[in-house]
Amino acid sequence: MVISKDRKVKDIVNILEKLYPKTPIPLKHKDPFTLLVAVVLSAQCTDERVNQITPILFDSADTPLKMSRLPIAKIEKIIRPCGLSPQKSKAISGLSKIIVNKHNSKVPKNFKDLENLPGVGHKTASVVMSQAFGYPAFPVDTHIHRLAWRWGLSTGKNVEKTEKDLKRLFPESKWNKLHLQIIFYGREYCPARGHNLEVCIICSKFRRKEGFK
């Protein structure tokens, strides 16, 4: 029997709410700017590693103005363990200067201005809008993209299409929390490798004749 998407949505929400009633933001930060920098650093890097590096970086500069005055070479040296340090250091320095000069040292609260900052794409902007400002958003990274396909919620070929599908399926009021719940669930129960139907509550519930990959 094929389970309808509406049924899946209700079951997923119920399961995730029981498993993760509270959703602490994985990246340590103290304000929108430090969150923005942490999200930029998280590209192709684990949250754990980012959380080890940001205290060192923010000890040197934790505001747009201070960061804009920090030499790029110093930023790069500090963030090297996060990978892609040449690109990320230029982006962090550049976005800090723009925030100071164009936005009165305040992280902008809209997608357009955020996505115009160096190193900030739609996913990063969505994280900042949802987690820093409480704006309804559904940040979709490669992990959520993978789970949405695995659970039969989207056949999108890219994260943009998957985001549209998930926004259509789930109530807007749940987007911000659900995004984090899915990330937590994927890490604990539904990994890309070594996926075990006996362990994965959601996949075992939705198991179909063709199975899950």
Reported as a single tens digit per residue, the pLDDT across 22-54 is 999 999 999 999 999 999 999 999 999 999 999
pLDDT surpassing 90 at residue 122: yes
Residue 124 clears pLDDT 60, i.e. is over it:
yes
- Answer whether residue 6 shows pLDDT above 90: no
Q: Does residue 211 come out as left (phi exceeding 0), alpha (psi in the -120 to 50 range) or beta?
A: left
Rounded-to-10 torsion of CA 124, 130, 131, 132:
90
Give the pLDDT band (50/70/90) at residue 210.
very low
Catalytic residue among 5, 10, 59, 123: 123
Contacts of 187 (CB under 8 A, 6+ apart): 143
Environment class of residue 18 by beta-carbon count within 10 Å: exposed (0-12), middle (13-18) or buried (19+)? exposed
Domain boundaries, the chain: 5-23+138-205, 32-131
167 counts as catalytic = no
Q: How confident is the model at residue 132 (pLDDT cuts 50, 70, 90)?
A: very high
| Candidate list 28, 59, 112, 141, residue with the active-site label | 141
The fold for domain 32-131 equals Endonuclease III; domain 1 (1.10.340)
Active site residue 11: no
Could you report the per-residue pLDDT of 143-179, keeping only the tens digit for each?
A: 899 999 999 999 988 999 999 999 999 999 999 999 9
CA dihedral (143, 149, 155, 161) in degrees, to 10, reads -30
pTM equals 0.90
Q: List the structure tokens of 111.
A: 């997608």
120, 114 Cβ separation under 8 angstroms = yes
Q: Quote the pLDDT of residue 212.
A: 46
Which two three-digit tokens encode residue 152? 């039969």
Q: 117 or 208, which is more confident?
A: 117
Q: What is the pLDDT of residues 81-118, one digit of tens each?
A: 999 999 999 999 999 999 999 999 999 999 999 999 99
List the CATH code of the domain at 5-23+138-205.
1.10.1670.10
Nearest of 102, 129, 138, 104 to residue 118 by alpha carbon: 102
